[in-house]
Amino acid sequence: MLGAIIGDLAAYTWQHNKDVFYKKLIADDAQLSEYGATIIALAKPIYQKEKIGFDTIEKQLFDYLRNEHDIAEDVREWMKSYKSNMSFNKVRLIVNMMNALAGWCGESADEAQKTSDALFHSFLLEKEDFYASLSLPILIWNLRQGLTKDEAIQGLIGHVGDTIIEWKYKNTDSPLSAIARAWDAFYRSYDFTSAIHSAVKSPINPRLTAAITGTLAEAMYGCEYGFLKKKYQNNIRSFEIKPPLHIENKYRDELYFIRKNTLVSFFPKNKAMTNVERHHWTNAKSKYKNMMMDNAYYQLLKKAFYTDWDNRYGFYLDDGWFYVYRSYVLICRFRVIKKSEDSFYIEQIQKGDEDNIYEIALEEAFHSLDVLNKRSLRE
């Protein structure tokens, strides 16, 4: 959820201060649009499955929109009259942000879908909005579970997934075309920052595109840190990503709720202090190839751990690969294949540029995981 807010603020920064955008994504004076404000205002009621209608948008969103946000003129006029006379298309785009929130709700994909279905029926929207409500929550839910980009959309292919792939070429400011543009920016990305860099350049509604891209990228990568390639670093390798202070202070409670309930099932790339350089991977021999594990151990591997003095090497999951890293250094990677409901094995170990230490890195990382496993079994 926070990724959508960050994407919205980053698009504002791109439009007003490109130097700051490339250094840290978000300017100190960045303002939310109606899309980021929707996330802040409606995250809690949607998460708690409250009934949402036109009156909810008007009453609950109004206070957030009038606080000097960088909002569209038609929304500004709507606020002045305090009546439900906002353009129908604007309502559709705001409901699209609610669809994004639905993807973070519930204990299953079905619950997320039901949340989104209720929104669609409450607003009596169009056929395109129905497809949007079928796609965005499920894409987010799938990515949160650790599926690859292709796996996340595969279940929608032949139904609405192929439409998402094609609709990026539609020259319209509508819900499904916004999802298509956002998916394209996310699909071509290699971390949260690169996804936002692509999204803000959208020729159509970059604020909405970046907001949706942000929540997709957050579901796979996380959004805690930004990382710079060596040619852009200028003595700064990474930076913390968060809303500016004036927004943090104004919406402290809402942001706390959002951060507390933004959960994924694995340790994502943006939590690992590593780099975003291009790496060359080659297949490697290792004693860990074909290593078997049960489902409990596999889930522990997905959750992983933060590296520290005692655990120098860690794991993170990114688009189907488990990466082994040390701070700012990627060392090797491998895939885990499901053999049965309670049986998994390691396949296709590849070494990177630091190939001379890849076996040591695997030993150290799995040793830390074994210690964590023994601790969890005792508890």
- C-alpha distances in Å from residue 82, one per residue of 77, 141, 240, 292, 335: 9, 35, 38, 62, 54
**Residue pLDDT, tens place only, 31-76:** 998 899 899 988 998 888 888 777 777 777 777 777 667 777 767 7
Q: What CA–CA distance (Å, rounded) separates 270 from 240? A: 10
| pTM as predicted | 0.90
Sign of the C-alpha dihedral, residues 149, 152, 157, 160? negative
Q: What CA–CA distance (Å, rounded) separates 131 from 338? A: 31
- C-alpha distances in Å from residue 253, one per residue of 9, 225, 247, 256, 281: 19, 22, 11, 5, 44
DSSP 268: B
* Domain parsing of the chain, residue ranges: 2-261, 272-378
pLDDT value of position 135 = 87
Regions of the chain where pLDDT drops below 70: 67-68, 74, 78-88, 157-170, 229-236, 354-355, 379
Closest CA to 316 of 328, 303, 327: 303
Q: Any residues with CB less than 8 A from the CB of 241 and at least 6 apart, and which?
A: 6, 24, 25, 26, 192, 193, 223, 224, 225, 226
- What's the token pair of residue 373? 């496993």
pLDDT value of position 6 = 96
The pair phi, psi for residue 189, each rounded to 5°, is -85, 165
pLDDT value of position 169 = 62
Which residues face 234 on adjacent strands? none
Amino acid present at 297: Y
Q: Is the CB of residue 213 less than 8 Å from the CB of residue 1?
A: no
Q: What CA–CA distance (Å, rounded) separates 178 from 102? A: 17
DSSP 291: -
Instruction: Find the helix packing angle between 34-47 and 88-102, rounded to 10°.
Output: 50
User: Looking at domain 2-261, which of 1.20.120.330, 1.10.4080.10, 1.10.540.10, 3.30.420.40 is its CATH number?
Assistant: 1.10.4080.10
pLDDT value of position 160 = 62
